[in-house]
Amino acid sequence: FCSGVMEKLGLGPEVLLQENPRLIYARLTGFGQTGKYAKSAGHDINYLALSGVLSKLGRKDENPYAPVNLLADFAGGGVMCAMGIIIALYERTKSGKGQIVDASMVEGAAYLSSFLWKSQNLGLWNRPRGENLLDSGAPFYETYKTSDGKYMAVGAIEPQFYEQLIKGLGLDSNKLPSQLSFSDWPKMKKMFASVFAQKTQTEWCSIFDGTDACVTPVLSFDDAASHQHNKQRGSFIKNDQEEISPRPAPLLSRTPAVPSFKRDPFIGEHTEEILLEYGFTKQEIAKLHSDKVIEFSKPKANL
């Protein structure tokens, strides 16, 4: 994710926009096109760190942790870049001109977290990491282990939802501290944990399904694909190799995405085919391959 790669190939935006002023040229990098780190290598965890967001992620008295590589790479990077392209396409319908989209994963992750920045004065994030309402501090916004080693996710923030949670757990709210009594949160978490540990995930689902307690099972990939709700919506699909993946989202009413049921291509599987389509000769393709500019990868037959 370093900048300047396209310029080395003679394909920078200045060159291509001269050729076609309507072109939208998206540049997706970790640190952006300018600034001290612009030419430095990095990965999701580094961009998240520089954005300020990583400092908010993690439990009390533990190191900050990155939620795999979803936040900066895909949300702050891919989705924000795609949104930038869509905005530029929309603007082009008015001006007739293209433009350059500078998508930085640091800035994308930071902008995605605008809520965290803007809610600091509301008292939501004024305590240390892991002691706040939404970062595992609250007993009613947490995950709990069940007797079969699985987990339930609890998000009962509003008082009416919290009351449903307490009822489902078989506790008496009159004998408990106030929901927002911060000093009692650690004690309440231990109490909730001991109750959740007494039943299986399936048993808790039978208690909380159909209620507004905001309690749901933490599902594995396999369990998510086979869960009744997701099956009813067709949220997951199988390809011709029986591999499961999410259906494209969001769902459009008039022009929904039509997913391919073929397996994902191997890198280089269609290189030759595509270059031939674009008018390259077999000799030119062979030269590009021998110069290691392109690579081929033919799938092996399953014998």
Nearest to 87 by CA among 24, 34, 21: 24
How far apart CA 160 and CA 152 sit, in angstroms, is 19
Q: Exposed (0-12), middle (13-18) or buried (19+): which is 64, by Cβ within 10 Å?
A: middle
| pLDDT for 105 beyond 50 | yes
Per-residue pLDDT at 122? 86
pLDDT number for residue 195:
98
What average pLDDT does range 31-51 have in this prediction?
Answer: 96
Q: Quote the pTM value.
A: 0.88
Alpha-carbon radius of gyration of the chain: 25
Write out the CATH class of domain 141-218.
alpha beta
3-state SS track over 45-99: HHHHHHHCCHHHCCCCCCCCCCCCCHHHHHHHHHHHHHHHHHHHHHHHHHHCCCC
Other Cβ atoms within 10 Å of 154 Cβ, number: 25
The mean predicted confidence, pLDDT, of the chain is 94
- Give buried/exposed letters for 12-46 (b at 16+ CB in 10 A, else e): bbeebbeeeeebbbebbbbbbeeeebeeeebebbb
The crossing angle, in degrees rounded to 10, of helices 80-95 and 105-112 is 90
First-to-last CA distance in the chain? 39
Q: What is the pLDDT of residue 298?
A: 73
Q: Report residue 219 as tokens.
A: 């599902």
Digit-coded pLDDT (tens) for 5-14: 788 888 899 9
| Alpha carbon distances (Å) from 90 to 20, 22, 98 | 17, 12, 10
Q: Quote the pLDDT of residue 163.
A: 98
What Cα–Cα distance (Å) separates residue 36 from each residue in 3, 8, 41, 112?
Answer: 12, 20, 12, 22
Distance CA 87, CA 99 (A): 10
Minimal CA–CA distance to 26: which of 81, 68, 107, 98? 81
For the cut 70, the answer to whether the pLDDT of residue 3 exceeds it is no
Length of the chain: 303
Q: Which residues are catalytic?
A: 43, 73
Q: Which amino acid is at 48?
A: L
So where are the chain's domains? 5-122, 141-218, 263-302
Position 300 scores a pLDDT of 63
Separation in Å, CA 6 to CA 36, 46, 48, 78: 20, 23, 25, 18
Q: Is 10 left (phi over 0), alpha (psi -120 to 50) or beta?
A: left
Beta carbons of 28 and 98 less than 8 angstroms apart: no
Model confidence at 302: pLDDT above 60:
no
Q: Choose which CATH entry (3.40.640.10, 3.40.50.11810, 3.40.50.10540, 3.40.50.360) describes domain 5-122.
A: 3.40.50.10540
Residue 303 has pLDDT above 50, yes or no: no
pLDDT digits (tens, 9 = 90+) for 128-181: 999 999 999 999 999 999 999 999 999 999 999 999 999 999 999 999 999 999
Q: What is the pLDDT of residues 206-256, one digit of tens each?
A: 999 999 999 999 999 999 999 999 999 999 999 999 999 999 999 999 999
